[in-house]
Amino acid sequence: FENDAVRHLFKQIFKASLQLQKDDSKKHLLVSRKKQAEDTVVTLGSTQVGNGTPTIVAGPCSVESEEQVRAVAKALKNNGVTLMRGGAFKPRTSPYDFQGLGVEGLEILRRVADEYELQVISEIVSPSDIELATKYVDVIQIGARNMQNFELLKAAGNVNTPVLLKRGLSATMEEFLHAAEYIVSRGNKNVILCERGIRTYEKWTRNTLDISAVPLLKNESHLPVVVDVTHSAGRRDILVPLAKAALAAGADAVMVEVHPNPAVALSDAQQQIDIPTFDQFMTDLHASKLFPSLVESK
Amino acid sequence: FENDAVRHLFKQIFKASLQLQKDDSKKHLLVSRKKQAEDTVVTLGSTQVGNGTPTIVAGPCSVESEEQVRAVAKALKNNGVTLMRGGAFKPRTSPYDFQGLGVEGLEILRRVADEYELQVISEIVSPSDIELATKYVDVIQIGARNMQNFELLKAAGNVNTPVLLKRGLSATMEEFLHAAEYIVSRGNKNVILCERGIRTYEKWTRNTLDISAVPLLKNESHLPVVVDVTHSAGRRDILVPLAKAALAAGADAVMVEVHPNPAVALSDAQQQIDIPTFDQFMTDLHASKLFPSLVESK
Amino acid sequence: FENDAVRHLFKQIFKASLQLQKDDSKKHLLVSRKKQAEDTVVTLGSTQVGNGTPTIVAGPCSVESEEQVRAVAKALKNNGVTLMRGGAFKPRTSPYDFQGLGVEGLEILRRVADEYELQVISEIVSPSDIELATKYVDVIQIGARNMQNFELLKAAGNVNTPVLLKRGLSATMEEFLHAAEYIVSRGNKNVILCERGIRTYEKWTRNTLDISAVPLLKNESHLPVVVDVTHSAGRRDILVPLAKAALAAGADAVMVEVHPNPAVALSDAQQQIDIPTFDQFMTDLHASKLFPSLVESK
Amino acid sequence: FENDAVRHLFKQIFKASLQLQKDDSKKHLLVSRKKQAEDTVVTLGSTQVGNGTPTIVAGPCSVESEEQVRAVAKALKNNGVTLMRGGAFKPRTSPYDFQGLGVEGLEILRRVADEYELQVISEIVSPSDIELATKYVDVIQIGARNMQNFELLKAAGNVNTPVLLKRGLSATMEEFLHAAEYIVSRGNKNVILCERGIRTYEKWTRNTLDISAVPLLKNESHLPVVVDVTHSAGRRDILVPLAKAALAAGADAVMVEVHPNPAVALSDAQQQIDIPTFDQFMTDLHASKLFPSLVESK
């Protein structure tokens, strides 16, 4: 092995083999670009996620009442936003925190969404609730804490309702794509990936928005990519620049939490924006040229 | 507010209030020392976890066959170890990796454990399997990826079988204790906390063993604390020093993965130790004086 | 303290005091917006950094020869870029790696820059070289590894040459601003802050670009903010989306490494772009409308 | 390449080559075990660091006065500790914090150390102070923030005074060993490595003590390894278990900060221990059997 020529030869073989190994390990992933070159487009009513025109997902952290949801729905409608998020089953750090309204929350979301012609995105946390959820929601959200709850992923893979899968708190890109593969490999091809910030040492933001994840995921996978700016930032004052950055980086949608009165919200009181702030948020995005104007988008 | 005396007064009030706030937020946690001063001791057959005498948990990553489990069980018996771990339901990053033998794996574990008078610890990943599991296992393990799978925590809180709860990949101490609280607040008081390394930038180990977690958890909570050295290190060459460090820091038990032939293991092939290495591991721990001798422990 | 009214009162005082404390601790920072509301604009020849019109900094990782620097300088000139970076003193992980050409490198940079009417940015690593550097460079760069090399910061604060200060590998926003304060408090007010990615567990990028740092720093401080996309990404395929994201988030400039032949570069061979790729990079930025067109920028 | 036999062959070559590459890249490091199998022992007066018998380094964070240092020195003497640390040049986050007494601090340390027959360890922050420092100190400390201040490392490599090199806030093992190599490759072979915790998301400790670093460094390198429990924990209540863990993991020494009156300390007031607590700390370590008794150690 001390002979230079042999060493050189080995290095060449090594490099070729390394590439081979890598290609090998990725070649069976259904979520990869290598398996499907064209973008997956998820159709949600009149809106398409992943077709090159970015869109917005907005709504309250938790569903608290029909009045609250209606106030938000109206604001979405006014701003040309058709995708409404809202939490009915809330995964909370403490068992003593508000755990959501459950099925009653889903019913409220559905009723108000139908009234305003919106699509509903809501988190499901138990495999046994997936079937039930398909009756109420247009998109099943799987949250960051459940990204590697493989039983939940499998259950979501067994239905046809689109799934918005959030990246785990400290999930690698590879783990994120493999989690999506759990769903797609079961037959449900309508998966939307959601970057929502990762956990780092930095505490001026609740999480660190990993903006690089957007182009990496778009390059590696054909699935649409959404950026949740609210959970990334955990504060209101930088939501507009983060949303612009997400769109500039190639995100298919931006998700933001809106509440009629954040100060009294039963969860995430510090980071939801009120309706006038949401109106301004939308105005700023339209003005940025990174986002189609309201007229164009209709 | 510019007046010094007023500022000073405010600072005093501030500090008092701060303490008050903190005390307030922790005062309802059932897992805290403030709520229960004496250590919780979990009795597993002839072994007690949390009574001041440290113990060992060992066994294969995955149950692969009865022969494999029997070989390990025999090695445990020979070394005076009574707690056997083994995975039947395996949460794997990729859907294409070995997913475990399921109920068949639990049956093997139970049969062999009874033969060798061992206690069985095995991971459960679905809320709907908790009831079933209580028939086969002595301790239900909830894995790192499921630490905030609150539906699973609730289901585990509804039974009487002891629970070994692993810290999430990037869970804070606070989140870890609140996850335990989900179980205890439902009525199941036999919870064992397991530090298994956290995810950091450092890649010479699979995870970074957060040794400080041991005294912090022992101070803050009355629950027993186990350290999983195998998943922390992700390599074999430092298991003995890590186990010694865990015991020196006050851990109630050390967990280690043992396989009759790690090279052909269906999971974690790089980090499990073979039986002669396990024998040496036990010899080294006994020699360290951090651990009772085999004679004493009988 | 058990009385609810008293508790409520204390909480109000607590919150007021908390804000007071925070305001207090920040009030003396010269780099803060509270101390200076208007933006600091650093004038570098015909280019102004921080005046609302974004700009580009480009050049090789290391100065290797006059021919190499000239080739890059020409490409900059062709693209309307006036700020050229290049390393003469290289802080390298291993003592056996190329350590840079030193003063000879600075001489090359100056000569070529004068020829093409460019401004030179180059890293200085020793307090004793700061004086010398002022003869050759227009901007002294202080690298990430030296962000808390306080002797170097002090030396840079004692001269008038503008300073580009890079965020440390795992520096908090607070530490970053305090490092800048070391320079400004000595009298040198021309400091440019540079976000270059932070160290996290994610390995698909060399560092994790903390895009939130851009609006946070712009809000908190009046100093210009640059984003180094090359060191953030550590790969070439996502430089354009990251540069767009940086501009969309409000960065005053984007820094990128360019080399005539990256494959033979003496440092950072994996991540520098060649000249045709740089031309395309600039074309893409101009097309994005996030950046003034070449005509406008003249 | 699709042929299985060829693939298998390539994999074998790949693995062999991979090992070869790795061995290759490490083979020139003077700090590695491969280059020197036997332990480096650094002799400091009557104490040897790295000879298999662990020892203690203790002293105040900052030198504040001769009285303060004398009080600590006396406590060290009483406990059989011969290595005294103390900061004269203090690298502080804010330019407005106490920056240390400088040379006057070194003079105090030397005077008191001579009086009590102790060895002095003190941090140097500027390459130009290294020569000066050799007149006053027995060990030059290079702090975490300066671990990749390569000019400082080079200057420390040019003298004969032993160097205690702290791991950077987010330095990998590889970067740490390469930083030591900067010193050793210049001719100064007396380098002591110091693990002091790394920066992670967990905030119950100031840093996360990476206990695995101890056996990893001992295996990979022949240099002595010290663990600084004070900077790892950033709190007093877990110093004893962390010190025990460090010793159990194979550390050659434990470093702890002691101050006669921590409440009024000019730096690190929250984490230094007072003298009675230090006495108890030493008593606990002696009682743990992980550390030679006072009688044995004499």
Per-residue pLDDT tens digits for B50-109:
999 999 999 999 999 999 999 999 999 999 999 999 999 999 999 999 999 999 999 999
Q: How far apart are CA B273 and CA B233, in angstroms?
A: 12
Does the pLDDT value for residue B39 go beyond 50?
yes
Specify the higher pLDDT residue, B132 or C21.
B132
Name residues 175-234 of chain D within 8 A of B (Cβ): 198, 200-205, 208-212, 214-216, 219, 232-233
* Residue in chain C nearest D176 by alpha carbon: C93
Instruction: State what percent of residues in chain A have pLDDT above 90.
Output: 85
pLDDT above 70: percentage of residues in chain A: 89
**C177 pLDDT band (50/70/90 cuts)?**
very high
> What average pLDDT does range C254-277 have in this prediction?
94
Range in A11-20, A185-194, C149-158, C229-238 with the lowest mean pLDDT: A11-20
Q: Which CA distances in Å does C276 have to B280, C237, C255, C279?
A: 61, 14, 17, 5
CB-nearest partner of C199 from B7, B10, B201: B201
Confidence band for A293, pLDDT divided at 50, 70 and 90: low
Contacts of A198 in chain C (CB under 8 A): 200-202, 208
pLDDT, tens digit (0-9, with 9 covering 90-100), for A97-155? 999 999 999 999 999 999 999 999 999 999 999 999 999 999 999 999 999 999 999 99
D199 vs A13, A16, A201: nearest CB: A201
User: Chain B within 8 Å of D174 (Cβ-Cβ)?
Assistant: yes
Residues of D in contact with C174 (CB under 8 A): 93
Contact: B201, D170; criterion CB under 8 Å = yes
Average pLDDT, integer, range A252-270: 93
When pLDDT is cut at 50, 70 and 90, the band that residue B232 belongs to is very high
Q: Which pLDDT score, from 0 to 100, does residue D251 have?
A: 98
pLDDT at A296 over 70: no
Best C14, C19, C23, C203 residue to mutate vs chain B (most B CBs within 10 Å) = C14
Q: Is C151 strand, coil or helix?
A: helix
Return the CATH class of domain A35-297.
alpha beta
pLDDT value at residue B33: 95
Residues 6+ apart with CB under 8 A from B214: B195, B225, B227, B246, B249, B250, B251, D241, D245
Confidence band for C298, pLDDT divided at 50, 70 and 90:
very low
The CATH architecture annotation of domain C38-297 reads: Alpha-Beta Barrel (3.20)
What are the extents of the domains in chain B? 1-30, 34-297
- As a whole number of angstroms, the distance between CA C139 and CA C119 comes to 8
The tens digit of pLDDT for each residue in A221-248 reads 999 999 999 999 999 999 999 999 999 9
What confidence tens digit (pLDDT) does each residue in D147-167 have? 999 999 999 999 999 999 999
pLDDT of residue B289: 85
**pLDDT at position C16 over 60:** yes
Position B184, amino acid: V
| Chain C CB contacts of D178 below 8 Å | 93-95
- The whole-number average pLDDT for the span D99-110 is 97
pLDDT of residue A291: 81
Look at residue C289 in the predicted model and tell me its pLDDT.
85
Mutate to test the interface with D, among B207, B209, B212 (most CBs of D within 10 A): B212
Residue B297 confidence class, pLDDT cut points 50, 70, 90: very low
- Indicate the residue of C14, C20, C199 with minimum beta-carbon distance to B17: C14
Crossing angle (nearest 10°) for helices C239-248 and C275-287: 40
Q: Which helix (H) or strand (E) holds C125?
A: none
d(CA B214, CA D248): 14
A92 to chain B: nearest residue by CA?
B150
Mean pLDDT along residues B137-159? 98
Please tell me the predicted confidence (pLDDT) of residue D172: 98
- To the nearest whole number, what is the mean pLDDT of chain A? 92
Q: Tell me the per-residue pLDDT of D221-233, one tens digit each, with 9 for 90 and over.
A: 999 999 999 999 9
Q: What is the mean pLDDT of chain B?
A: 92
Chain B residue numbers with beta carbons less than 8 Å from the beta carbon of A148 are: 91, 93, 145-146
Are D18 and A21 in contact (CB < 8 Å)?
A: no
Burial (CB count <10 Å: 0-12, 13-18, 19+), residue D2: exposed
Contact D125 C151 (CB under 8 A): yes
Rounded to whole angstroms, the Cα distance separating A93 from A81 reads: 31
Quote the percentage of chain B above a pLDDT of 90.
Answer: 85
Q: Write out chain C residues lying below 8 Å of A237, CB-based.
A: 215, 219
Size of interface B-C (CB pairs under 8 A): 37
Q: What's the longest Cα–Cα distance across chain A?
A: 79
Average pLDDT over chain D reads: 92
Pick from B152, B166, B200, B201 the residue to mutate for testing the A interface (most A CBs within 10 Å). B152
Is residue B241 packed enough to be buried (19+ CB in 10 Å), middle (13-18) or exposed (0-12)? buried
Question: Each residue of A31-55: pLDDT tens digit?
Answer: 999 999 999 999 999 999 999 999 9
pLDDT tier for residue D24 given thresholds of 50, 70 and 90: low
Q: Between residues D264 and B184, which one has the greater pLDDT?
A: B184
**A contacts of D17 (beta carbons < 8 Å):** 10-11, 13-14, 17
Topology (CATH level 3) of domain D33-297: TIM Barrel (3.20.20)
pLDDT in tens, C111-133: 999 999 999 999 999 999 999 99
Looking at residue C40, what DSSP letter applies?
A: P
CATH assignment of B34-297?
A: 3.20.20.70
C245 to A241: CB separation less than 8 angstroms, yes or no: no
CB A251 within 8 A of CB A280: no
Cα A121 vs. chain centroid, distance in angstroms? 10
| CB-nearest partner of B182 from A95, A151, A175 | A95
- Tell me the per-residue pLDDT of D55-79, one tens digit each, with 9 for 90 and over: 999 999 999 999 999 999 999 999 9
Mean pLDDT computed over every residue of chain C: 92
**How far B10 CA sits from the closest chain C CA (Å)?**
6
Q: In the predicted model, what is the mean pLDDT of residues C14-28?
A: 59
The residues near C45 (Cβ < 8 Å, ≥ 6 apart) are C82, C117, C118, C119, C138
Nearest to D185 among C93, C95, C146 (CB): C95
Which pLDDT does position B21 carry in this prediction? Answer: 57
Q: How far apart are the first and last CA of chain B?
A: 68
Average pLDDT over residues A262-267: 90
Q: Tell me the shortest Cα–Cα distance from B200 to chain C, in angstroms.
A: 5
List of chain D residues whose C-beta atoms are within 8 Å of the C-beta of residue B209? 210-212
Q: How far is it, in rounded angstroms, from Cα B208 to Cα C24?
A: 37
* Interchain contact, D20 vs A10, CB within 8 Å: yes
Q: Are D14 and A1 an interchain contact pair (Cβ–Cβ within 8 Å)?
A: no
B127 with A127: Cβ contact below 8 A: yes
Q: Identify the residue among B126, B130, B198 best suited for mutation to test binding to A, counting A beta carbons within 10 A and taking the highest.
A: B126
Q: Which of C32, C200, C211 to mutate to test the interface with A (most CBs of A within 10 A)?
A: C211
Instruction: Tell me the percentage of chain B whose pLDDT exceeds 70.
Output: 89
Which whole number is the average pLDDT over C200-228? 98
pLDDT for B267: 87
pLDDT for residue B298 is more than 50: no
Instruction: Provide the 10 A C-beta neighbour count for residue B183.
Output: 29
**Shortest Cα distance, chain A CAs vs residue D41, angstroms:** 33
User: Would you say residue B199 has pLDDT above 60?
Assistant: yes
Residues of D whose CB is below 8 A from A17:
10-11, 13-14, 17
Q: Helix D4-26 to helix A4-26 angle, to the nearest 10 degrees?
A: 120
By C-alpha distance, the chain C residue nearest B199 is C201
Q: Identify all chain C residues contacting B14, using CB atoms and an 8 Å cutoff.
A: 13-14, 17-18, 20-21
pLDDT given for residue B1 in this prediction: 44
pLDDT range class, residue C23, cuts 50, 70, 90: low
Contact D21 A1 (CB under 8 A): no
CA distance B109 to B124: 14
Across the range C10-36, mean pLDDT stands at 71
Assess whether pLDDT exceeds 70 at residue C295.
Answer: no
pLDDT at B210 over 80: yes
Of the candidate ranges A15-19, A89-93, D135-139, D169-173, the one whose mean pLDDT is the lowest? A15-19
Chain C interface disruption, residue of A212, A217, A242, A284, most C CBs within 10 A: A212
Beta-bridged to residue C139, according to DSSP, are C121
Using a CB-CB cut-off of 8 Å, the residues of chain A touching B206 are: none
Type and span of the H or E element at A236: none
CA separation (Å) from D196 to C258, D209, D221?
A: 38, 6, 18
D127 to chain C: closest CA residue: C126
